Amino acid sequence: MNEGIKKLSRKSLEALIQAFEFISSPLEPDEILKIVLEQISNLLDAEAGSIFLINEKRNVLELKVATNLTQDEIEKIKIPIGKGLAGFVAEKDQLVNIHDVTKDERFYSNIDHITGFTTKSILTVPLKTSDKIVGVIQALNKKNGKHFDDEDEILITEFSRLVGLTLEKAWFLSQLIEKQTFEVDLTIASKIQESLLPKNELRIDDVLIKGFYKPARYISGDYFDFFVLNNDQILIVLGDAAGKGAQASLIMASVKAYLSAAIESKLDFITISNNLNKFLAVNTPLDKFITIFLGLINLKENKISYINCGHEPGLIVSENGEVEFLHSNNIIMGVLENFEYLPSEVSFSKNSFLFIYTDGVTEANDKFDNRFGNENLMKVIIENSKTPLKIFQKLPEAIQKFVGEKDQFDDITFIAVLRGENFLSNAHIEE
Amino acid sequence: MLEQNQFLVEKQDDICKIQVLPHIASAPLTLKFKDTIDEVLEKHKFKKIIFDLSKVEFVDSSFIGAIVYAYKNLDKLNGKICCVIKSATVNDRFLIPQLDKLFKIFPNMEDAIQYMKSI
């Protein structure tokens, strides 16, 4: 038993134990604060009380509960650390017992002006968890015109210690529950995001389009899609939003929504690109942009018109391993609102395939921060140029082998568009 | 001169130089980098910023996003940014998205300062 408690009278000790029993049942942190406020009055025979908690980011004490104040009034009261009586106690980590507040210039009278309450005496003590000061507790006006005495100081000190430890446990539990709830939400979000991607490969005549998607976290900023526009034309899309996680995935969900609506409206390829950029420039935060590859495949004319907006190069690979690079030919989207996007055109003959990927492929890194890189990617592509469907197995395997036990750094997404009976007959064999 | 652990912020006339000290500039660094940019823009009201990435050997898209953020903010105020980049890998990360259409990229600080003084 610590020295302070030994000095308490039996009556005070019993009151302290009872007060602790009230706050020790499993409660939300906010509920604990309300009960503590009630118990301060009971324990110390005080007319009123208040509890401030430290907002570390802003370096201020924020009032959380107080007798006779509405929630709106409570939310307005913030005291810088080091200022006023509460700020002094939080900064110096020491109890202050003032018998007459009119004689102490540290007293912050503004709260009295708001409530109409007249503070006469005040006992303020730091509120601490096991490792730091998290706020202050105040008892105001001892009843019957007395002032707070030595026994009150011990009582509030001991009670504050118990409150600090109880709050610490409650915050920990609250964070744990929040984390678990967040993980459930992320799992749902992940399923929703996957549902926005094509569920199956697409086959039309001698063309097969297939995608691969592996997010680094639950949700990702990568997006791929393919839209059949008519008998001759297919639009393929692969995009990557700057950053990772929820913000990036929401941007990509909006890209999907925009593209679906634009295609439904029969807009042409260039107009779709220009409008998508404008939409992103106006509607996304200033630090967000996307890189995106939009490819319009014309099966009748054996060509691809593409707008590569700051994305990794697309590759057109012949079955004998010759590679043509479709480099970035336009600026990223979401930055220059009125930029006019212009396509380039390349031939896309039978028995060749188009491969597009996000930088998560080439930037996959091992524990020494070595990157998988273009060289390793090209090795897998060329080795499998006769049987490109194998890339869907061989490339993830090669990346996994390269990174070893290191966690996946970025989202990995790629799509391949295979043309020609040779590839399709191989596809049947593999299946 | 103000060193904020990972960034060195230095004033030269009306130009602010922000040097990024770590070799890897990725998501964990981006938040602090954005805070530094905000401080330079809002508190010190600089309209010319040179991002010195000469020590950086890798940047990810979130970090580039922070530089784009500075560009967009200053563009509205007729301000300018430019970057100093030495690593070929980092250079590619700026050239593939065609960021050189938004702002200048220089191989050394002298050229960057000369450019900023000329505008």
Neighbours of A62 (CB within 10 A): 16
Q: pLDDT-derived band of residue A211, with 50, 70 and 90 as boundaries?
A: very high
Instruction: Check residue A205 and give left, alpha or beta (phi > 0: left; psi -120 to 50: alpha).
Output: left
pLDDT tens-digit readout, A220-278: 889 999 999 998 999 999 999 998 778 888 899 999 999 999 999 999 999 999 999 99
Amino acid B30: pLDDT: 92
Identify the helix (H) or strand (E) that includes residue A110: helix A110-115
Distance CA A5, CA A151 (A): 10
Best residue in B41, B69, B98, B103 to probe A by mutation, most A CBs within 10 Å? B98
Amino acid A1: pLDDT: 54
Q: Which domain holds residue A37?
A: 3-173
Distance CA A197, CA A27 (A): 43
Does residue A180 form part of some domain? no
The answer, for B58 touching chain A at a CB cutoff of 8 Å, is yes
Total number of domains in chain B: 1
The answer, for A310 touching chain B at a CB cutoff of 8 Å, is yes
User: Mapping DSSP to helix (H, G, I), strand (E, B) and coil, where does residue A82 land?
Assistant: coil
Closest CB from B34, B62, B72 relative to A242:
B62
Amino acid A235: pLDDT: 96
Amino acid A429: pLDDT: 42
Does residue A396 form part of some domain? yes
Amino acid A191: pLDDT: 84
Amino acid A428: pLDDT: 46
The more confident residue out of B119 and B5 is: B119
Structure tokens at B9: 């912020």
pLDDT tens-digit readout, B7-54: 999 999 999 999 999 999 988 899 899 999 999 998 888 999 999 999
Closest CB from B27, B34, B97 relative to A291:
B97
Q: Which of A173, A203, A225 is the last residue of a domain?
A: A173
Does residue A182 form part of some domain? no
Distance CA A241, CA A243 (A): 6
Closest CB from B61, B69, B99 relative to A286:
B69
Amino acid A192: pLDDT: 82
Distance CA A72, CA A77 (A): 9
pLDDT tens-digit readout, A294-310: 999 999 999 999 999 99
Amino acid A426: pLDDT: 56
Nearest chain A residue to B23 by CA distance is A369
Distance CA A399, CA A180 (A): 31
Residues A193 and A137 in one domain: no
Look at A312 and B66 and tell me if their CB atoms are within 8 Å: no
Q: Which of A123, A150, A173 is the last residue of a domain?
A: A173
Residues A230 and A122 in one domain: no
Does residue A178 form part of some domain? no
Amino acid B23: pLDDT: 93
Look at B68 and A335 and tell me if their CB atoms are within 8 Å: yes
The answer, for B87 touching chain A at a CB cutoff of 8 Å, is no
CA distance readout (Å), A11 to A16, A150, A178, B97 = 9, 15, 40, 74
Residues A265 and A356 in one domain: yes
Average pLDDT over residues A102-118: 82
What CATH number did the domain enclosing B59 receive? 3.30.750.24
Distance CA A90, CA A260 (A): 56
Neighbours of A187 (CB within 10 A): 12
**CB-based contact A311:A369 (threshold 8 Å):** no
pLDDT of A136 above 90: yes
Distance CA A107, CA A99 (A): 12
Best residue in A280, A325, A329, A335 to probe B by mutation, most B CBs within 10 Å? A335
Total number of domains in chain A: 2
Q: Which of A124, A144, A173 is the last residue of a domain?
A: A173
Question: Across all residues in chain B, what is the average pLDDT?
Answer: 92
Distance CA A351, CA A317 (A): 9
CA distance readout (Å), A82 to A14, A47, A59, A153, A312 = 35, 26, 10, 21, 54
The answer, for A427 touching chain B at a CB cutoff of 8 Å, is no
Q: Which of B84, B89, B86, B88 is nearest to B106 (CA)?
A: B84
Look at B101 and A331 and tell me if their CB atoms are within 8 Å: yes
Percent of chain A with pLDDT over 90: 62
The β-bridge relationship of strands B24-25 and B58-59 is: parallel
Does residue A181 form part of some domain? no
Question: Which residues, including other chains, have CB under 8 Å from residue A268's CB and lie 6 or more apart?
Answer: none
Amino acid A427: pLDDT: 53
Average pLDDT over residues A211-228: 91
**CB-based contact A412:A364 (threshold 8 Å):** yes
pLDDT tens-digit readout, A380-428: 999 999 999 999 999 999 999 999 988 887 889 999 999 988 777 655 4
Best residue in B30, B34, B42, B61 to probe A by mutation, most A CBs within 10 Å? B61
Q: Which domain holds residue B43?
A: 2-118
Nearest chain A residue to B73 by CA distance is A286
Residues A150 and A264 in one domain: no
Residues A367 and A328 in one domain: yes
Look at A312 and B96 and tell me if their CB atoms are within 8 Å: yes
Q: Which of A103, A164, A94 is nearest to A123 (CA)?
A: A94
Closest CB from A244, A309, A311 relative to B62:
A244
Does residue A274 form part of some domain? yes
Residues A85 and A230 in one domain: no
Amino acid B36: pLDDT: 93
Residues A75 and A108 in one domain: yes
pLDDT tens-digit readout, A367-379: 888 899 999 999 9
Nearest chain B residue to A281 by CA distance is B72
pLDDT of B76 above 70: yes
Percent of chain A with pLDDT over 70: 97
Residues A151 and A198 in one domain: no
Best residue in A286, A311, A338 to probe B by mutation, most B CBs within 10 Å? A286
Amino acid A431: pLDDT: 42
Q: How far does A64 lie from chain B, in Å, by closest CA?
A: 28
Question: For the residues of A383-397, what is the DSSP string, one character each?
Answer: HTSSSGGGHHHHHHH
What CATH number did the domain enclosing A166 receive? 3.30.450.40
Instruction: Check residue A293 and give left, alpha or beta (phi > 0: left; psi -120 to 50: alpha).
Output: beta
